Amino acid sequence: MAQTPGLTSVVIVAADSGEDLGVCVECLLASTVPIEVIVSDNESRDGSIEALATRWRDEPRLRILRNGSNLGFGAGCNRGAAQAHGDALLFLNPDCRIEPATIARMRALMRPDTGVVGAAIVASDGTSEPASRRRDPFLRRALMSMMGRDEINVAADAADLQVVDIVSGAAMLLPRPAFDAVNGFDEGYFLHCEDMDLCRRVRDAGLRVACANSVRIVHAKGTSSRTRPFFVAFHKHSGMWRWFRKFDPASRNPGIRGVVWCGLWLHYAALTLRYAWQWMKARISASG
């Protein structure tokens, strides 16, 4: 598809995203630079897509792509990108809030060798999210981090643009050629870890991944994840296993691979028990 210079195509994957989606789009449409917004809908059933279509029916910069089923985050991003006209792609979570100048500031920090630009992601209360800047979570590094001898998350430095291994998938800006060079997101992930995978493949292609420390984006942690903790936890652990097998040198050892597989799914089982207990307590409290 032909690219329009200076146009940023914002791709939002929606899946029962509630009111967050409408707020996100409203913020985007106030941007100071040319944009188009593509909402890639993974079969939302909460009325959020219909509300968006009604409110912005006469907005030519907004398009809604109905995928017909829940394809997962990476596949939803790829479907949206396939319809995009911009020379840059911003993948944005529906629970993010940006300022009018955010996209302009992120674009201004792109360099010829830049493959991905992230931002300083903060929670609604202003707390910094560690996922803004990370290193590859190799098994060796994760174990060292547990012992306090290494760290996967990276502290911000004084640079406006800090080169890192991974930025948060909540907000990722890519030049269109960089996205095309790595064939987009790996659709073998359904939810979680596909941002880590994309950043790794961009770096393997000889491009830089960097965090725009001077650009803050509020991440409200929205509805779709909170209401489906079992679903999210399952796919997060599946994504971690896929990333480990693709990129971690330790996965070449069959014994280590088996231990990691058991550890991941034992951890998932423990989480499901905790979620089930929380659900039961909430039900008891509501009925009492």
Q: Are residues 157 and 239 in the same domain?
A: no
Q: Are residues 37 and 80 in the same domain?
A: yes
Q: Does the pLDDT value for residue 226 go beyond 70?
A: no
What is residue 221's predicted lDDT score, i.e. its pLDDT? Answer: 74
Q: For position 215, which CATH number holds?
A: 3.90.550.10
Axis-axis angle for helices 194-204, 73-82 (nearest 10): 60
Q: Are residues 173 and 275 in the same domain?
A: no
Q: Are residues 12 and 109 in the same domain?
A: yes
| Confidence band of 179 (pLDDT split at 50, 70, 90) | very high
What is residue 225's predicted lDDT score, i.e. its pLDDT? Answer: 58
Q: Are residues 186 and 135 in the same domain?
A: yes
Q: Does the pLDDT value for residue 85 go beyond 80?
A: yes
Least confident range of 26-30, 134-138, 194-198, 231-235: 231-235
Q: Are residues 135 and 112 in the same domain?
A: yes
Per-residue pLDDT averaged across 122-137, rounded?
92
Per-residue pLDDT averaged across 45-63, rounded?
95
Residue 235 lies in domain = 226-287
Among 51, 48, 52, 60, CA closest to 18:
48
Q: Are residues 270 and 259 in the same domain?
A: yes
Q: Are residues 150 and 29 in the same domain?
A: yes
- Of the candidates 176, 207, 225, which is a domain's last residue? 225
Q: Are residues 63 and 110 in the same domain?
A: yes
Spell out the residues 6+ positions from residue 286 whose beta carbon is closer than 8 angstroms to its own: none
Cα separation, 129 vs 123, in Å, equals 7
Cα separation, 165 vs 185, in Å, equals 16
Tens-place pLDDT, residues 229-288: 888 889 999 999 999 999 999 999 999 999 999 999 998 898 888 777 776 766 777 776
- Reported in sequence order, the residue ranges of the chain that DSSP labels E, i.e. its strands, are 4-14, 35-41, 62-66, 86-92, 96-97, 114-122, 161-163, 171-175, 208-219
Count of domains observed in the chain: 2
Q: Are residues 34 and 73 in the same domain?
A: yes
| Confidence band of 11 (pLDDT split at 50, 70, 90) | very high
What is residue 146's predicted lDDT score, i.e. its pLDDT? Answer: 75
Tens-place pLDDT, residues 193-222: 999 999 999 999 999 999 999 999 999 875
